[in-house]
Amino acid sequence: MSDNSTYTTPQWFWDAVDIKPEQGSIEVGECEITYFYWSEPGSPGLLFVHGHNAHAHWWDFITPSYKDEYQTVALDLSGMGDSDHRDEYSADLYAEEIVAVADKCEMPGNTILVSHSFGGAMSIRTVARNPDRFKGLILLDSGIKHPDDVRPPEPERLAKAKLYPSAEVAQSRFRLQPPQQCENQYIVDHIARSSVEYIDDGFGWKFDEEQSLRMQPYEDIEADFKSIGCKCALIYGDSSEFFTAKSAAYMKELLPHLEVTELADAQHHLFLDQPLTFMEALTGQLNAWS
């Protein structure tokens, strides 16, 4: 993956990623948590939470569109991005990280969490434990699966972390997880470039290879979800292999005030597949709650 790729990158994307955020950090449970912010306190808050083995820069082309109307922040969960790794991970620790970043950035009580995949599950824990801290939660292809959609987890296998001779070679090996094709290769390439770091005489990924093995089970997620009292919405991809319409309906049964939007022609990584349509849906949801 390189800048010599044959595709054409649209101007709106360059305009977005050219707006660089400021970086900060805060210690949570003896672990340094990195965050990025595009605007200062003073407006309603918008805090973006990434998925598993991802990082804050997955939002680089989304967040600038909201920086003028919202105090816009994204964080790196521990074990991912530029944040420190832990000996043990849990939903409670991730909830602490999300709240700590919101507090450090002086984000107001009308802050809304926008959370993808694994980050959505951790955000469910966050609002369940802190019912008065956030105005709302917008889940992106994330939440509670219908019992018919639950698949037995595959056994975790700890493989030796792969190192590559150059950043360019590492970037060329970048793949989305769970696997899917994405027609917007310019977005995938941008994420790949920000997902690599220099490690021990080689280049590897910015995530803890042992995170899944060190993650404590989150067994209370359905009870936590049912307890949510703040505003809550779900935006999911109609072609997602991770999330289905049946699961969306099941979530609506569990939480009747849940607002659901299906995004056409989108897979699990819906804001990569349909970035402009996704932003229209997100903006519509935010406007409905304003």
Question: What pLDDT digit, counting tens, does each position of 201-260 carry?
Answer: 899 999 999 999 999 999 999 999 999 999 999 999 999 999 999 999 999 999 999 999
Q: What pTM, to 2 d.p., does this model score?
A: 0.96
| Percent of the residues in the chain that have a pLDDT greater than 90, as a whole number | 91
pLDDT at 46: 98
Residues paired with 234 in a beta bridge: 139, 260
Q: What is the C-alpha to C-alpha distance for residues 162 and 172, in angstroms, rounded to an integer?
A: 13
Q: What is the C-alpha to C-alpha distance for residues 111 and 263, in angstroms, rounded to an integer?
A: 24
Q: What is the C-alpha to C-alpha distance for residues 51 and 239, in angstroms, rounded to an integer?
A: 18
Q: Residue 200 has which token pair?
A: 């021990």
CB 255, CB 167: distance < 8 Å? no
Fold of 11-146+221-289: Rossmann fold (3.40.50)
Listed in sequence order, the residues at least 6 apart from 105 whose beta carbon sits closer than 8 Å to its beta carbon are 24, 35, 37, 41, 45, 71, 73
Query: pLDDT, tens digit, for every residue of 44-73?
Result: 999 999 999 999 999 999 999 999 999 999
CA angle 36, 265, 257 (to 5 degrees): 70
Query: pLDDT, tens digit, for every residue of 261-289?
Result: 999 999 999 999 999 999 999 999 999 99
Mean pLDDT of 121-140: 98
pLDDT band at 1 (very low <50, low <70, confident <90, very high): very low
pLDDT band at 7 (very low <50, low <70, confident <90, very high): confident
Listed in sequence order, the residues at least 6 apart from 27 whose beta carbon sits closer than 8 Å to its beta carbon are 33
Report helix, strand or coil for 275.
helix
pLDDT band at 3 (very low <50, low <70, confident <90, very high): very low
Run of H or E residues at 269: none
pLDDT at 158: 60
Query: pLDDT, tens digit, for every residue of 157-194?
Result: 666 678 999 999 999 999 999 899 999 999 999 999 99
Please choose, from the candidates 39, 4, 9, 7, the residue with its C-alpha nearest in 3D space to the C-alpha of residue 21.
Answer: 39
